[in-house]
Amino acid sequence: MSHTSMDPTKMGIGRSIAVLTSGGDAQGMNAAVRATVRVGIYTGAKVYFVHEGYQGLVDGGDNIKLATWESVSMMLQLGGTVIGSARCMDFRAREGRMKAALNLVKLGITNLCVIGGDGSLTGANQFRKEWATLLVDLVKSGKITDDEARKSSHLNIVGMVGSIDNDFCGTDMTIGTDSALHRIIEVVDAITTTAQSHQRTFILEVMGRHCGYLALVTALACGADWVFIPEMPPDEGWEGHLCRRLADQRARGSRLNVIIVAEGAMDRGGNPISSEDIKKLVEKNLGFDTRTTVLGHVQRGGTPSAFDRILVGISLCLCARMGVEAVMALLEATPETPACVVSLSGNQAVRLPLMECVQVTKDVTTAMAEKRWEDAIKLRGKSFENNWNTYKMLAHINPPDTKSNINVAIVNIGAPCAGMNAAVRSAVRIGIIQGHNMLAVHDGFEGLAQGKIEPITWTGVSGWTGKGGSELGTKRVLPSEYIEEISLTIAKFNIHSLVIIGGFEAYMGGLELVQGRDKYEELCIPMVVIPATVSNNVPGSDFSIGADTALNTITSTCDRIKQSAAGTKRRVFIIETAGGYCGYLATMAGLAAGADAAYIYEDKFGIRDLEMNVEHLVQKMKTDVKRGLILRNENCNANYTTDFIFALYSEEGKGIFDCRKNVLGHMQQGGTPTPFDRNFGTKMGSKAVLWITEKLKEVYRHGRIFANTPDSACVLGMKKRALTFQPLAELKEQTDFEHRIPKTSWWLKLRPIMKILAKYNISLDTSEHAHMEHVIKKRVSMPAPLMKKASPATKHEEEE
């Protein structure tokens, strides 16, 4: 059946779906359960909770309950899994699986959505493969009739991976991973202050018995001195190397050392390396005051991040969006369709054959057992490999003895945002590693015109990953009014290339500098713009540094606001978000916080829409969910202001609900960067300088640098599944300059999902659902070459 002929509200009529969570709990599981239940109900299907995982499936009875729309209300912000999870030995035996099959057949359930790790998903696939023979045995024993067996002739399985370790191959991020990183980074930031006070070395042990993702990303996000991961044990003689590195950092003026250890860390001989072992080594060889912290199950707890609710940032919609994709995958399945897992690739939800993913995950374990460490890194996927290469460059390569005599200037433009400093730190250190002289430009283009430039060193950016705002200082001034002064400054300081970090002003400034090349030859140098703005409105990139931090700020604020209505009830909150004319924050926060509506400029609305939204809330107040949340982008409409909408809702809701309003303002720009923004900024800064290094080789002619081609001035952005360099000149046609936004935005396709999850009866376009892809061809059957030094994309693109 073609997607275009489907009526999504009738796809599930006469069908039943069961959803269960299994194995270790992970923050964000509840968001996935909520999305599965509500989208299932939207399609006309019956949806059942299976409490206590596979054990509930085996035991049946009250463990399998019909879910309602209201039963998943207020689940989004809860950690863990409210329907419970349990390790189940009974399901591992055929007798247990037969009991589970009997329970499902009696309720007419032939679609099973499993949220768990690879063990839970493997068990689901085995259940599916045995289904026909289980029914035969149940008919023979007289427990079900031939008619019941015929109606339940095949079982459809879809999986969503819930695991804080991010140890499942085939997906960039599993449910719970980002939230676990939030918990870890909160601890690291707290420990850093006390470590600096006492000049201590801190060793932090994080979860990851078989996967070092949490440890690796934590090391990138906090600028750790060393990381131990099971996929790549340290070389022989690592003890001496570690001690020399720690001593060298202290000699450079650092007051602390941070070492991150995955719980499954080991040496090349397969012997465990514990945090206590490292502590004894450091104390014995260096005499440093050393402390260890083992985080344990605190990493599983707490409120899920916005990333885990909708997976933004690189964010995406892992829970809400993957819940939608999971239901569609179930309802479109045929007996020939293999069990699939809904995975994340860039900002795309994709379906992959479950057992292919499980096989590649097992291949990683095999590679580690056979000491094929490079293969283990590659099998984890491109994102893991890129993280590892970036970490190696920033932490383990010493600056070269010979200099390149290249001067690279870095400038921050526009409003400050969290993650800017991480990008600057990475760019500075990668530049120094390449042999360049790195220059810091203070106060934006105005500072560039006035010569506010100074050399910036390796230690000059120490500790910057965790700092919010802009340490370099930033202004919104564009270069056009200073173009001559800027050209003179570039000549005076002999600047050979420019890294511009900022929002729409950075993009506009880059365009103006390119336009000035015709008149000023000094501007004929390679330039790269790194998008960094809470508004996420820079053309050429799906994500901007800083947007994830702002989104988490909005989401946590909305959580608190909604909670405040738990006692008073019958209350509607109207929240104004930032973003200029870009509705990204309002839309994604609406998904993450469970909003009833989100008004944005890109999705036009009028008085009829406002009336419909008010009536929707009036009807909602008749249910058990007696609260409402409305988000409004600050520039969504010149006439329908926040005050107008507040007054309208207040008047129309008299006697039914009362209203409150909040304007979040500049708090969305502040705070320490999230793990995503730290990691994203680090990789973007690194990639930008490596690209510049290669570009300088291309444009060096006759003893001088001359860059005037379009591809010598680019925006570095994340597009779907890749980091891409796109010429500024080519992006002009994709830009709405009046409203400072791209003409098209990928996230607008998510808005119908938000409305469906808020129980609006709308049509959902089912024509663009993910088709089944494959993972094995991409990640298996490869030689085991020596790990190469990371290099920039040779043309414009590199898979992330």
The answer to the question of whether 291 is labelled as a binding residue is yes
CA distance 408 to 495: 6
* The pair of three-digit structure tokens given for residue 123, joined into one six-digit string: 């068990």
The answer to the question of whether 347 is labelled as a binding residue is no
The answer to the question of whether 96 is labelled as a binding residue is no
Q: Could you count the other beta carbons within 10 Å of the beta carbon of residue 107?
A: 16
3-class SS shares of the chain: helix, strand, coil, % to 5: 45, 20, 35
The answer to the question of whether 476 is labelled as a binding residue is yes
CA distance 541 to 22: 36
The answer to the question of whether 668 is labelled as a binding residue is yes
Q: Could you count the other beta carbons within 10 Å of the beta carbon of residue 141?
A: 10
CA angle (176 as vertex; 680, 181 as ends), nearest 5: 45
The answer to the question of whether 660 is labelled as a binding residue is yes
CA distance 406 to 427: 14
The answer to the question of whether 393 is labelled as a binding residue is no
Pairing relationship of beta strands 741-742 and 797-799 according to DSSP bridges: unpaired
The answer to the question of whether 211 is labelled as a binding residue is no
Amino acid identity at 85: S
Q: Which of 193, 218, 196, 175 is nearest to 678 (CA)?
A: 218
The catalytic residue positions are 165
The answer to the question of whether 298 is labelled as a binding residue is yes
First to last CA, the chain: 34
Count Cβ atoms within 10 A of the Cβ of residue 179 and give its class: 0-12 exposed, 13-18 middle, 19 or more buried.
buried
The answer to the question of whether 667 is labelled as a binding residue is yes
Residue 582: alpha-carbon gap to chain centroid: 20
The answer to the question of whether 533 is labelled as a binding residue is yes
The answer to the question of whether 161 is labelled as a binding residue is no
* The pair of three-digit structure tokens given for residue 87, joined into one six-digit string: 């390790």
Q: Which of 611, 607, 555 is nearest to 586 (CA)?
A: 555
The answer to the question of whether 666 is labelled as a binding residue is yes
The answer to the question of whether 525 is labelled as a binding residue is no
The answer to the question of whether 250 is labelled as a binding residue is no
The answer to the question of whether 200 is labelled as a binding residue is yes
The answer to the question of whether 546 is labelled as a binding residue is no
The answer to the question of whether 163 is labelled as a binding residue is yes
The answer to the question of whether 534 is labelled as a binding residue is yes
CA distance 32 to 19: 10
Pairing relationship of beta strands 348-353 and 340-345 according to DSSP bridges: antiparallel
CA distance 571 to 663: 17
Count Cβ atoms within 10 A of the Cβ of residue 252 and give its class: 0-12 exposed, 13-18 middle, 19 or more buried.
exposed
Look up tokens 């406002």; give the residue: 610
**Long-range contacts from 341-344, C-beta under 8 angstroms, 24+ separation:** 341/121, 341/158, 341/159, 341/160, 341/161, 341/168, 341/170, 341/171, 342/158, 342/159, 342/160, 342/770, 343/161, 343/170, 343/171, 343/172, 344/171, 344/172, 344/173, 344/311, 344/316, 344/318
The answer to the question of whether 118 is labelled as a binding residue is yes
The answer to the question of whether 38 is labelled as a binding residue is no
Tell me the β-bridge partners of 131: none
| H or E element at residue 730 | helix 728-731
CA distance to 59, 106, 146, 245, per residue, from 143 (Å): 15, 10, 10, 68
The answer to the question of whether 209 is labelled as a binding residue is yes
CA distance 187 to 540: 35
The answer to the question of whether 740 is labelled as a binding residue is yes
167: left (phi over 0), alpha (psi -120 to 50) or beta: alpha
CA distance 526 to 406: 12
Look up tokens 């489907």; give the residue: 6
The answer to the question of whether 116 is labelled as a binding residue is no
Residue 494: alpha-carbon gap to chain centroid: 39
Q: Which residues sit in the known binding site for substrate?
A: 163-165, 200, 207-209, 263, 291, 297-300
Q: Which residues sit in the known binding site?
A: 24, 87-88, 117-120, 163-165, 200, 207-209, 263, 291, 297-300, 476, 533-537, 571, 634, 660, 666-669, 740
Q: Which residues sit in the known binding site for Mg(2+)?
A: 118
Q: Which residues sit in the known binding site for beta-D-fructose 2,6-bisphosphate?
A: 476, 533-537, 571, 634, 660, 666-669, 740
